[in-house]
């Protein structure tokens, strides 16, 4: 079931002025979206569309929404199909599944055409993280004309989690051909959410923000999603191979800035740097010592990230 509610938790209230609802993608999948308009009579500097990473939900970005509103932007956010409050794609709602990453382009189209373009102020910018950032790069590759600029955080261009990359790709494709695409990817036993602890996590060095995000998962488990399916992994490898092709970066004319984390253990930072050096209309920077979830990191890492946003996104109050 898709969800039309935004959920507050202790220390993470819903930002004031929120409007939340469902919009259908062109293939009928129902997507949870939220939007915030700037304060009336205050100058508006445009709209930022927030695109989360895998397993993430809009609630995780409430702090970021406040940061953007304070800068004078309107904000639109979406839960990708199959996660958060959007419609799940399998009977087992905890399975993170997709047949083809091209389906996520329908989610972008739905947000833009039904939520942003009708009455949210331009210019329009994209802020995306990890899986979301790779989907937005694919959007730029397909010559999506909507966004003036894209600010992409730790884009998923190569997974550091996979030890034997070539073998994993072949196995995912073989198992998918054998009809196992909807099965969970073989992995070690996943710990229940109440057994997850800050120590040893690979996402953030900020204990308070880690605890805040864990509370969301504990209090609203219906928004969570578990490990990916074999089909999701195969589709992710397909997209990463497409983006790795030498011609891809050179063909992109979308102005974009990628920000990588120097201590990222989830996606490969050198691959982001290599991709960035081939861009014609884009660039990249690395924040040394930071972990994968830069917007959930300590202020010593988060503040340079926001400074990069201010410098890159025209109209920001701090620029």
Say if 11 falls within a structural domain: no
Does residue 97 have a pLDDT over 70? yes
- Strands 282-287, 256-261: pairing kind: parallel
Strand partners, 12: 9
Q: Are strands 124-129 and 74-78 parallel, antiparallel or unpaired?
A: unpaired
Confidence at 170, pLDDT banded by 50, 70, 90 = confident
Domain holding 39, by residue range, is: 19-312
Cβ–Cβ under 8 Å, residues 296 and 64: no
Q: Cβ distance 232 to 131 under 8 Å?
A: no
pLDDT value, residue 164: 61
What does the pLDDT read at residue 196? 85
Average pLDDT over residues 171-199: 82
CA distance 101 to 238: 8
Q: Look at residue 150 and tell me whether its pLDDT is greater than 70.
A: yes
pLDDT tens track for 15-59: 999 999 999 999 999 999 999 998 777 788 999 999 999 999 999
Q: Is residue 121 part of a domain?
A: yes
Joined together, the tokens standing for residue 216 give 């969301």
CA angle 135, 293, 117 (to 5 degrees): 40
Tell me, yes or no, whether 4 lies in a domain: no
Q: Alpha-carbon distance 67 to 77, whole Å?
A: 14
Nearest alpha-carbon partner for 271 in 248, 244, 293, 253: 244
Report whether pLDDT(191) > 90.
Answer: no
16, two tokens: 């004031």
Q: Where are the alpha helices (DSSP H) in the chain?
A: 62-70, 103-111, 117-119, 131-141, 165-177, 207-219, 230-244, 246-251, 269-278, 299-312
Count of domains for the chain: 1
Average pLDDT over residues 195-214: 93
Residue 295 and residue 313 in contact, taking contact as beta carbons nearer than 8 Å: no
Give the Cα separation of 227 and 264 in Å (integer).
19
In which order are the strands placed within the sheet that holds 30-36? Answer: 19-24, 30-36, 74-78, 47-51, 124-129, 149-153, 256-261, 282-287
Please check whether residue 150 is in contact with residue 255, taking contact to mean a CB–CB distance below 8 angstroms: yes
Residue 318 lies in a domain: no
More confident residue, 41 or 317: 41
Axis crossing angle, helix 103-111 with helix 131-141, rounded to the nearest 10: 90
Residue 74 lies in a domain: yes
pLDDT at residue 315 is higher than 70 = no
Q: Is residue 205 part of a domain?
A: yes
* pLDDT value for 234: 95
Q: How confident is the model at residue 318 (pLDDT cuts 50, 70, 90)?
A: very low
Question: Are residues 263 and 204 in contact, defined by beta-carbon separation less than 8 angstroms?
Answer: no
Report yes or no: 58 and 78 within 8 Å, Cβ to Cβ: yes
Tell me, yes or no, whether 13 lies in a domain.
no
Q: Is residue 12 part of a domain?
A: no
Domain CATH for 225: 3.40.50.1820
Are the beta carbons of 88 and 61 closer than 8 angstroms?
A: no
Burial 18-28 (b: 16+ CB within 10 A, else e): bebebbebeee
- Residue 172 confidence (pLDDT) above 50: yes
% of residues, the chain, pLDDT over 90: 82
Distance CA(301)–CA(118), nearest Å, equals 36
Q: What percent of the chain has pLDDT over 70?
A: 96
- The pLDDT of residue 116 is above 60: yes
* pLDDT value, residue 190: 67
Q: Which pLDDT value is given to residue 228?
A: 94
Q: How confident is the model at residue 319 (pLDDT cuts 50, 70, 90)?
A: very low
How does residue 188 score in pLDDT terms, banded at 50, 70 and 90? low
Among the listed ranges 32-46, 57-71, 144-158, 216-230, which one has the minimum average pLDDT value? Answer: 32-46
Provide the pLDDT for residue 271.
97
Instruction: Please give the pLDDT value at position 201.
Output: 94
């Amino acid at each position: 079931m898709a969800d039309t509610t935004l959920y507050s938790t202790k220390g993470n209230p819903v930002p004031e002025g929120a409007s939340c609802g469902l919009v259908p993608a062109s293939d009928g999948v129902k997507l949870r979206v939220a939007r915030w308009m700037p304060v009336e009579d205050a100058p508006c500097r445009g709209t930022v569309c927030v695109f989360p990473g895998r397993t993430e939900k809009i609630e995780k970005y409430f702090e970021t929404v406040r940061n953007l509103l304070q800068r004078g932007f309107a904000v639109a956010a979406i839960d990708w199909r199959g996660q958060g409050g959007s419609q799940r794609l399998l009977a087992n709602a905890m399975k993170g599944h997709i047949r083809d990453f091209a389906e996520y382009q329908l989610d972008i189209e739905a947000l833009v055409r039904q939520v942003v373009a009708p009455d949210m102020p331009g210019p329009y910018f994209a802020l995306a993280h990890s899986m979301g950032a790779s989907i937005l790069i694919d959007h730029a590759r397909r010559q999506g004309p909507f966004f003036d600029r894209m600010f992409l955080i730790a884009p998923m261009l190569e997974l550091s989690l996979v030890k034997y990359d070539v073998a994993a790709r072949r196995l995912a494709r073989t198992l998918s051909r054998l009809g196992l695409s909807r099965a969970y990817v073989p992995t070690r036993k996943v710990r229940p959410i109440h057994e997850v602890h800050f120590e040893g996590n690979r996402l953030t060095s900020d204990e308070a923000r880690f605890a805040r995000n864990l509370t969301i998962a504990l209090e609203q488990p219906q928004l969570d999603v578990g490990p990916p399916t074999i089909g999701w992994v195969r589709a992710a490898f397909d997209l990463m191979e497409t983006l790795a092709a030498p011609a891809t970066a050179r063909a992109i004319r979308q102005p974009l800035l990628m920000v990588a984390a120097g201590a990222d253990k989830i996606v490969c930072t050198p691959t982001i740097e290599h991709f960035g050096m081939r861009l014609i209309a884009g660039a990249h920077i690395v924040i040394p010592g930071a972990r994968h979830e830069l917007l959930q990191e300590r202020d010593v890492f988060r503040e340079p990230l926001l400074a990069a946003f201010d410098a890159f996104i025209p109209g920001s109050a701090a620029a």
